[in-house]
Structure 1
């Protein structure tokens, strides 16, 4: 039994992952073990029932698996018959002790002849035909004809020995709750609004000055006036971090900031910024910077390190943008989702040497970024 799933089940496994079904390494290995024990053999219906039993945990997932088998076209019967005939002929020749080309096998040690005649190697063309037949068989056949029913779903007896940890279920870099706590750390308390809070010191001074207090002295309550402008890269190289960008935008209202907005760009903040990750609803970049004058600037981008390329022109244009942005936003931080070891020799390495601090994207460095935005260098 092979250590990989047949092509049909492998394609189904990848389709389930693409639709967000939480199947992992253990489910993959369970499929291999089930085929080894004889489940799902015989026809496509048996294979579909096995996939439903192993990977269908809800009605929606079971419908997705069934739809996969219904939509996928079945192989041509003439093709499968020809492949079965070719393989049967190969098996017959092997059982008769002759090679497909008709040459006799060499005699053993007990042969009466003194010297064994030289064995002529099989023609390359015959080997190529046999390999092609086996490859085609692997594409259209599922397994040997054996059916099992009424037995429990097989499970591995022991945990597989895997040298590395693979997390196939998406996990956020930073949870929404932790992001909300971090945003609340970014505070600039000021007093504005109606005078509803008692100012005890001013009241005592007024009482001592006049000797008579007509009414207490009040003052506005403290509120967080910190403002934040986030510019997020929505280019194809940032696709693995799209869920984090969505979580980032959803967590801003929980931070109780004075003002917070997210705008998107493609690789480089050019003259226009966009209101959605799909780069729709464009607005002038300079107008957005003027509207957020005095706010903290947070840029989230891999800066070319995800593809491992070095683009000096992009680095110069980014440096020019950062110089212009700091005229409106004195405090700025760049968050790079790629690890620091991947920055060297890329555009990110040149940008990191610029005037804006570049940090990796994780909870600890995000906390450090908030401190920088607060003015703690």
Structure 2
């Protein structure tokens, strides 16, 4: 392979694209078969077809090609010298008489110059006067997790059950029935296993979540493209989905104590709230109607900083959040919370108190694995479960 491809692979691996020996071998075989030699753009698109699985990964590969210091991609191959071709003499004319016989002079045909590939149209033009591309200006979004990593995590959220028409062969039952009857029997068919897990995703928007909008949208889109869930419902809210009983604020024994354990049994589940169907929070939908579609096979996941970004504790927001958690627990099979801030930012904030009642994890790869385990039914200890 060309030497600059190794630098390209190193750069893509640093960006989170898991390229291995098989991917390098696939490129080597494609080049040996004659693909990707016409231009630099053809080589770029060849690598996109071999390595990229999504549109974001394709953009990552193209941007990496623009940043790598690559020589001009040409078809400069050694061409063998052509053999000498004798040029026949013209036939003699009758008027001139017999022409003297002369030895033929061999004429050497010059070999054609090797074809040179034109520069790719998709690569950025070099700035005038420099002769090279300013690689600092080639920018692509680089999130903490790639789409492939997020999809690998959420594909583990499965509850396979047999559902639908019988289309699969049950070998054990067919053999058992044939042995019991002693005669050949028709094959026994059973329905195929299907993932019946449903997911309700509640995403906090605006306010302190504004710096995380692009990353959270990247995570949500990756979950939607995973395509392994029976149903996925994404709704949005701002800080809280509704207001709990404000009278409980006065019932807290110590206003300086951040915990609400004393009033937790009297806190009713939040039923009358407002969610939104779009990230801009312009299409409202009632919380009661969303909860009415939740079944026992539905897992509920909340993506919010829960006040950790500002580092403050709001008793009113804590009551509203715990009331929403009670409503989700009563309707869904399991509830987990994903926080875009690390756990070191939770102390002395509302998020620290919410984590005492709901399983809360950072929005990292390890945190999402833990959240998926909770949604699959694995218990997670909290200080004061709802």
TM-score by length of 1: 0.54
Match of 1:371 in 2: 373
Match of 1:259 in 2: 231
Match of 2:300 among 283, 297, 301: 297
Shift in Å, 1:206: 2.1
The RMSD of aligned alpha carbons is 2.5
In the aligned structure 2, how far is the partner of 1:150 from the partner of 1:213?
83
Q: Secondary structure at the match of 2:172?
A: helix
Match of 2:49 in 1: none
Does 2:282 correspond to 1:280? yes
Match of 1:312 in 2: 315
Please show how residues 71-150 of structure 1 align to structure 2 within 5 Å. Answer: none
In the aligned structure 1, how far is the partner of 2:345 from the partner of 2:130?
50
Shift in Å, 1:330: 2.7
Match of 2:79 in 1: none
Summarize deviations over 1:272-293 as a string: whole Å, max 9, x none. 1111110122211122122122
Q: Secondary structure at the match of 2:155?
A: helix
Summarize deviations over 1:282-307 as a string: whole Å, max 9, x none. 21112212212221111000011111
Q: Decide which moves more: 182-191 or 286-295.
A: 286-295
Q: 1:308 to 1:323 in 2, by over 3 A?
A: same
8 Å CA contact retained: 2:159, 2:195? yes
Shift in Å, 1:151: 8.0
Shift in Å, 1:259: 1.2
Match of 1:205 in 2: 176
Match of 1:34 in 2: none
Shift in Å, 1:247: 1.6
8 Å CA contact retained: 1:191, 1:220? yes
In the aligned structure 1, how far is the partner of 2:376 from the partner of 2:154?
11
8 Å CA contact retained: 2:174, 2:185? no
Gaps of 5+ in 2: 1-122, 243-272, 380-386
In the aligned structure 2, how far is the partner of 1:223 from the partner of 1:152?
57
Match of 1:189 among 147, 160, 165: 160
In the aligned structure 2, how far is the partner of 1:350 from the partner of 1:214?
63
Q: Secondary structure at the match of 2:240?
A: coil
Shift in Å, 1:320: 1.0
Q: Secondary structure at the match of 1:323?
A: helix
TM-score by length of 2: 0.53
In the aligned structure 2, how far is the partner of 1:224 from the partner of 1:169?
35
Summarize deviations over 1:343-373 as a string: whole Å, max 9, x none. 111111111111x111111111111111111
Match of 1:25 in 2: none
In the aligned structure 2, how far is the partner of 1:195 from the partner of 1:169?
48
In the aligned structure 2, how far is the partner of 1:275 from the partner of 1:178?
26
Match of 2:341 in 1: 338
In the aligned structure 2, how far is the partner of 1:341 from the partner of 1:290?
36
Q: Secondary structure at the match of 1:185?
A: coil
8 Å CA contact retained: 1:180, 1:255? no
8 Å CA contact retained: 2:275, 2:284? yes
Q: Secondary structure at the match of 1:348?
A: helix
Summarize deviations over 1:180-203 as a string: whole Å, max 9, x none. 111111111100011010111221
In the aligned structure 2, how far is the partner of 1:257 from the partner of 1:151?
52
Structure with the higher helix share, 1 or 2:
1
Q: How many residues align?
A: 220
Q: Decide which moves more: 250-259 or 293-302.
A: 250-259
In the aligned structure 2, how far is the partner of 1:348 from the partner of 1:361?
14
Match of 1:269 among 241, 262, 266: 241
Shift in Å, 1:215: 1.6
8 Å CA contact retained: 1:227, 1:259? yes
In the aligned structure 1, how far is the partner of 2:237 from the partner of 2:164?
36
Gaps of 5+ in 1: 1-56, 63-148, 156-167
In the aligned structure 2, how far is the partner of 1:152 from the partner of 1:244?
36
Q: 1:218 to 1:277 in 2, by over 3 A?
A: same
Shift in Å, 1:249: 2.6
